[in-house]
Homo-oligomer: A and B are copies of this chain.
Amino acid sequence: MAYLNRFYDPPEDRFSELLERTGTTQENISCPVAAIIAAVKAEGDEALLRFTEEFDKVTLSSLRIPTSEIQKAEELVDETLKKALAVAKANIEAFHQAQSAEGERLEREGIALWRKIVPIDRVGLYVPGGSAPLISTVLMLAIPAQVAGCKEIVLCTPPDRDGRVNPAILYAAQLCGVNEIYRVGGAQAIGAMATGTASIKKVDKIYGPGNRWVTEAKTQVGSALCAIDLPAGPSEVMVVADSFADPVFVASDLLSQAEHGPDSQAMLIICADREDGELYADAVEKAIAEQLKQLERKAALEASLANSRLFIIPSLEGCARLANAYASEHLIINLQNEKKEEQLLSMITNAGSIFLGPWSPESSGDYASGTNHTLPTGGWARGYSGLSTDSFIKKITVQRLSREGLENLAPTLAAMADAEGLKAHRRAVDVRLGEER
């Protein structure tokens, strides 16, 4: 039995069809989401408590988690996890510190130009709920915010049916300096951070993943009310391997993507001629079958693999073309040697995050090597980068001209203002230089 549909070296005009994302068509939720945001804007906390009752099935009297509860979380998290979080935090922090920007400065003939780097004042982080606590999401959002120097970092996450937030979330948050935590989730949490309520002060930018309601809410506020990090969508991986890569490793990479859910997608490109490629593909299929036996939720994994595709492409250039056309969130490159891997890397222009060689599984970047796991999905990697320290700062341009600097520039300004028909733009120069008052 084959889990993956196979395609041999497809022509470029079939790329868009073969690389189509599997986002299941679902009913349009833009109206109910707009109604939630409007209610939050109009009624504030009252609406938040009502929606929490409706969607999270719990009646709360307050939204903010008291400091005492956050502090007590430390006792409730086991030592192995605490140690792991400390290692992950140190690694993520180091890489995001290396990303810190410096403002450029340029001076000539009485004109000084520079960029002033400032952290965004108040940022809002969203951490989805669910059966397991998404501690890595907390680290990936809060650490760059802290490294950037954001003064106020707010976190919203839905409560469980007892009105509680998992202590591991609270522990991870306070480890990263986040103490303003609200138990509120869904579109209502996004609405609250975007518009502000009595409890939750409006933020300047919203970050983080979420379900369809959260994603739709971010899209809606993003065009009118509040900056957002990235358009979001289901997760995906593309693996480029040749016959030197261990098929067991490749199978494990595809399966670790598949476990994210039925809408996630795992793509495999085998860089080989047709005959070798088919043999290698069989080896990967065998390894998938073996590993599926060891995993729970086999049916769900098989359903997810049904979205996946396998391509056999003879040339490295052809692999690069296909990989760039897909613009994968995660791209694993596992080839004969480092030289070949670097050669392919040099041709890649569209990807969220790239993992090189046999010892770099996606999990390393998902959790603890130091790179950020908040990445552009759904082909957005063509136009966007993943989250980084850059996402939490602004660069404000500043200029100071001396009188001489303005005099030198004046003829240029006058000619351009004249061409654009903006007389007062020209006069703002002329009155300064005494030609008119």
A111 near B: Cβ within 8 Å? yes
Chain B proximity of A301: nearest CB distance (Å): 8
Known: A360-B406, A367-B417. 11 other contacts (CB 8 A): A83-B411, A87-B412, A98-B106, A120-B383, A219-B223, A227-B384, A249-B431, A256-B425, A353-B398, A359-B432, A361-B429
Interchain CB contact under 8 A, A168 and B252 = no
Contact mask for chain A residues 380-421; partner B; CB cutoff 8 A; 1 contact, 0 none: 111111101010001111111111011001011111110111
From the candidates B81, B291, B416, B428, name the one contacting A136 in the complex (CB within 8 A): B416
Find A427's partner among B256, B365, B384, B432 (CB 8 Å cutoff): B256
A133-151 CB mask vs B (1 if < 8 Å, else 0) is: 1111000000000000000
In the complex, A313 has a CB within 8 A of chain B: no
Return the CB mask of A207-237 against B: 1 if under 8 Å, else 0.
0000000000001001110110001000000
Instruction: Chain B residues near A390: list those with CB within 8 A.
Output: 390, 395
The 8 closest A-B pairs by CB, nearest first: A227-B383, A84-B415, A132-B421, A361-B428, A205-B383, A98-B104, A356-B400, A371-B397
CB within 8 Å of B: which A343-389 residues: 345, 348-372, 380-386, 388
Q: What bracket does the count of chain A residues touching chain B fall in?
A: 35 or more
A415-B83 contact, Cβ under 8 Å, with A358-B432, A364-B409, A399-B355: yes
Q: Are A397 and B372 in contact (CB under 8 A)?
A: yes
Chain A window 78-108, contacts with chain B (Cβ cutoff 8 Å), 1 for yes, 0 for no: 0011011101100100110011000011101
Q: Which residues of B contact A120 (CB under 8 A)?
A: 382-383
Contacts of A368 in B (CB 8 A): 409, 412-413, 416
Residue of B nearest to A406 (CB): B359
- What's the Cα separation between A363 and B345 when bound, in Å? 44
B425 close to A366 (CB less than 8 A): yes
User: Which residue of B223, B350, B371, B403 contacts A113 across the interface (Cβ within 8 Å)?
Assistant: B371
- The reply to whether A259 and B425 contact each other, CB–CB distance below 8 Å, is yes
Is the CB of A426 closer than 8 A to any CB of chain B? yes
In chain A, positions 6-21 with a C-beta closer than 8 Å to chain B are none
Across-interface contacts of A83 in B (CB, < 8 A): 411-412, 415
How often does this chain occur in the complex, in copies?
2
**Interface set, chain A 257-275, CB cutoff 8 A to B:** 258-259
Cβ contacts under 8 Å, A338 to chain B: 400
Residue A74 lies at the interface, judged by CB distance under 8 Å to chain B: no
Q: Kindly state whether residue A437 has any CB partner on chain B within 8 Å.
A: yes
A255 an interface residue at 8 Å Cβ cutoff?
A: yes
Contact A84 B411 (CB under 8 A): yes
A308 to B: closest C-beta gap in Å: 14
Whether, in the assembled complex, A296 has its beta carbon less than 8 Å from a beta carbon of chain B, the answer is: yes
Which of the residues B85, B99, B223, B396 comes within 8 Å of A348, measured between beta carbons? B396
A390–B397 Cα distance when bound, in Å, is: 13
Structural contact, A384 and B394, CB atoms closer than 8 A: yes
Contact code string A103-132 (vs B, CB < 8 Å = 1, else 0): 011101001010110111100000000011
Which residues from B are CB-within-8-Å of A432? 249, 252, 358-359, 361
Please, which residue of chain B has its CB at the minimum distance from the CB of A229?
B383
Tell whether A198 is near chain B: CB-to-CB under 8 Å.
Answer: no
User: In the assembly, what is the distance between CA of A366 and CA of B202, in Å?
Assistant: 31
* Residues A116 and B358 in contact, CB atoms below 8 Å apart: no
Query: Which residues on B sit within 8 Å (CB–CB) of A81?
Result: 415-416, 419
A164 on the B face (CB < 8 A) = no
Distance between Cα atoms of A380 and B228 in the complex (Å): 11
- A422 part of interface (Cβ distance < 8 Å): yes
Whether the pair B369, A113 counts as a contact (CB closer than 8 A) is yes
Which chain B residues border A427 with CB–CB below 8 Å? 252, 255-256, 291, 294-295
A153 to B104, CA, bound (A): 25
Q: Is the pair B382, A413 in contact by a Cβ cutoff of 8 Å? A: no
